[in-house]
Amino acid sequence: MEKQINVYREETHELLAELESSILELEESSGDAELIDRVFRPMHTIKGSAAMFGFENISDFTHHIETVFDLVRDRKVIVDKKLVDLTLAACDQIKRMINKKEIDQEEVDEIKDAFRQMIPHEDLPEKTSFVSAHRHTGEELSKVSYRIRFRPHPSILKSGANPMLLLDELRELGDCSVIVQVPKVPDLESLNPENCQIYWDVILTTACDMNAIKDIFIFVEDQCELTIDVIDEEGGLEYEDDYKRLGEILSERGDINTHDLKTALGSQKRVGQLLVETKMVAPDAIESALVEQQHIKRMRRARYEAATESSIRVASEKLDGLVDLVGELVTVQAHLMQKAAIQEDAELLSIAEEVERLTGALRENTMGIRMLPVGTTFNKFKRVVRDLSAELGKDVALVTEGGETELDKTVIERLGDPLVHIIRNCIDHGIETHELRRQAGKPSRGTVTLSAEHSGAHVLISISDDGKGLDTQAIRIKAVEKGLISPDADMSDSDIFPFIFTPGFSTVENVSDLSGRGVGMDVVKRGIDGLRGSVEIRSEKGKGTAIILKLPLTLAIIDGLMVKISSDHYVIPLSAVEECIELTQQDVQNDHGRHIVNLRGKIVPYLRLRELFMSEGESPAIEMIVITEVNGDRIGFVADRVLGEHQTVIKGLGRAYKNAKGVSGATILGDGTVALILDLPDLVHLSESDNRKL
């Protein structure tokens, strides 16, 4: 069962994240009935499937939590800080249980007792009903009838799942009729007792919505065929004879085709009797249709709402494999286009252009599959802000904006640690205490804002606070102490701010558990550099600080500008390129070799890639300067030739070159040669550290 258990673990972690986000929102809006229901669903889904996968301790642990929130819905228990703290502590315990880490049983018992004490004696139930976790909001409940066909795959029993437990869960939802179907059960000689050869038809009338039914099957959805249809609802037709006839029900279910039904209707016998006699339909199917007919005749027909959009869970390894294959296809397509251009074959060129179009579309679709909304990451920090502000005795609220902005899943996965460090700094160093905020005329509650927006081929993520801002004088003094600048250096605030990213740099005098060791912001810088992104700091004393992270949309395939130096090829990320200009020997003489160029009245420094990479041979008479933006500054990079745009599939350099400077990866060209992808910020840093003057 290890595979199924891993799926349950993965699902449970997602449900816990949803639960934490909902309970933190509920703390701000304690009377929101929709939020209360959002807390119910993940909690019961975790509990309902825990025992099936051997986590009886989780099932038992969540019992009284559900009961308390049922009383919250009935306005018998209020949502306060104590309840939110307990629920978050319970989430932490479930995480430990699901990961089978060492559990402090005394702590678990304390949490259970605390929840139990919130339940009035007269409201203590023996079992928390599944219905309470999924009922509609409002004073009166509208009942809906569903037709459910649950057809397990034959191998479901081998995974340890028990279909009977799932049917029992369905019965908890309301008035339920279950009919077993046995059309494919072989004789005893051929019967494999480890295979499930039967399936079930269920007619369910309940006040719960369709999601409640789907939640029951959430952990076996890949091991069964499940169809759920709305067939009746209160407020519709009133008379019994108005419901569907037997043949119509069988046809809707797919148990008989229209032609056979019409043939049977030509006889004077009852349809059910004739269909069984002619073996067009199994007796079990007739019985199931009759049960539905009888069941629904007590109900009223109403509007049917289409089922929610279906989705499929795919392992990230398979998705990464798909991206790799698309990358290989891009390389082959480039080779094909190169060959077609050389041979000057119009027909071959037309085919190559069509392949290029299809490859581009495939690439965009594949990259789209990898994209996830950053809001999934943002929601995790609500808990961080709440816990940290409580620890420091500050009142801080987290505001999120642009959560629907999409970013590559790999970038999102690696973004967590840098954001944690920045948010901790905002609360610890940026937001003032209650007293200081009142003296400054600010609201007692501080605000940390986390926002995201698209900017071309990048996403800008901003983390800002309304605190005291950076102390430029303290940063400058510390920089002088560390020998980073001379005491008389003339530097603007924007030049001083980046020193906080220096390893071991801290202006805090007293070391605490949270800060003072100079570890944190250098981790942020390394993490963002590793994502080929950049960091910008904006701060105003007394008003707050904003840190803007500029990140690429994807790390797998980029658009690049191909340049050539001697016989070597290099790729410059196209998103950083502004324009290209010529550089002649006369221009170099006019500037006296100072590596600067006058670009429409503005001085732009440049680096010679030939010198940085120590390429052999003479420079051409006319070189090209690629003007780029690096960390907010315009920098030029001189190459022999600019070959044009190139769709670049990024390949790692391997362990032997993991410390290589100035390059972030490599790509394979259409003719099989390798081109290095330039890391522009690293090249600028490399030039400065080698005392090369721009």
Per-residue pLDDT of 425-448, as tens digits, reads 889 888 998 888 888 888 988 999
How many domains, the chain?
5
Cα–Cα distance for residue pair 663/678, rounded to 1 Å = 4
User: Do residues 48 and 118 share a domain?
Assistant: yes
For residue 382, the domain's CATH number is 3.30.565.10
User: Do residues 493 and 398 share a domain?
Assistant: yes
Whole-number Cα distances in Å, 399 to 140, 451, 618, 667: 35, 8, 57, 40
The two tokens of residue 257 are 């085709």
Containing 88, the helix (H) or strand (E) segment is helix 81-98
- As a dihedral over the C-alpha atoms of residue 381, residue 383, residue 388, residue 394, rounded to 10 degrees, the angle is 100
Last residue in a domain, options 306, 330, 362: 362
Cα–Cα distance for residue pair 416/402, rounded to 1 Å = 17
Could you tell me the pLDDT band of residue 305, with boundaries at 50, 70 and 90? very low
Whole-number Cα distances in Å, 626 to 406, 564, 607, 642, 680: 30, 12, 10, 8, 11
607 assigned to some structural domain = yes
User: Do residues 354 and 379 share a domain?
Assistant: no
Cα–Cα distance for residue pair 159/693, rounded to 1 Å = 66
What is the chain's mean pLDDT, rounded? Answer: 78
In sequence order, the β-bridge partners of residue 545 are: 465, 539
Q: Decide: 576 and 569 in contact? Cβ < 8 Å.
A: no
User: Do residues 148 and 199 share a domain?
Assistant: yes
Last residue in a domain, options 253, 281, 296: 296
684 assigned to some structural domain = yes
User: Do residues 548 and 593 share a domain?
Assistant: no
The number of angstroms, rounded, from the C-alpha of 256 to the middle of its chain's C-alpha atoms is: 43
Which of 121-125, 419-423, 561-565, 628-632 is predicted least confidently?
121-125
- Looking at residue 123, its pLDDT comes to 52
User: Do residues 271 and 152 share a domain?
Assistant: yes
User: Do residues 275 and 403 share a domain?
Assistant: no
End-to-end C-alpha distance for the chain, whole angstroms: 62
Q: Decide: 363 and 557 in contact? Cβ < 8 Å.
A: yes
The reply to whether the predicted model has a pTM over 0.75 is: no
Range of the domain at 96: 2-133
Place of tokens 């649950």: 150
In sequence order, the β-bridge partners of residue 537 are: 547
User: Do residues 243 and 185 share a domain?
Assistant: yes
User: Do residues 268 and 247 share a domain?
Assistant: yes
User: Do residues 261 and 338 share a domain?
Assistant: no
User: Do residues 570 and 658 share a domain?
Assistant: yes
Could you tell me the pLDDT band of residue 219, with boundaries at 50, 70 and 90? confident
Cα–Cα distance for residue pair 199/255, rounded to 1 Å = 13
Could you tell me the pLDDT band of residue 626, with boundaries at 50, 70 and 90? very high
DSSP letters spanning 366-411:
HHHHHEEETHHHHTTHHHHHHHHHHHHT--EEEEEE-TT-EEEHHH
How would you label 110-142 residue by residue, b for 16+ Cβ within 10 Å and e otherwise?
ebbebbeebbeeeeeeeebebbbbbbbeeeeee
Last residue in a domain, options 502, 533, 552: 552
526 assigned to some structural domain = yes
| Mean pLDDT, range 373-397, rounded to an integer | 86
User: Do residues 615 and 523 share a domain?
Assistant: no
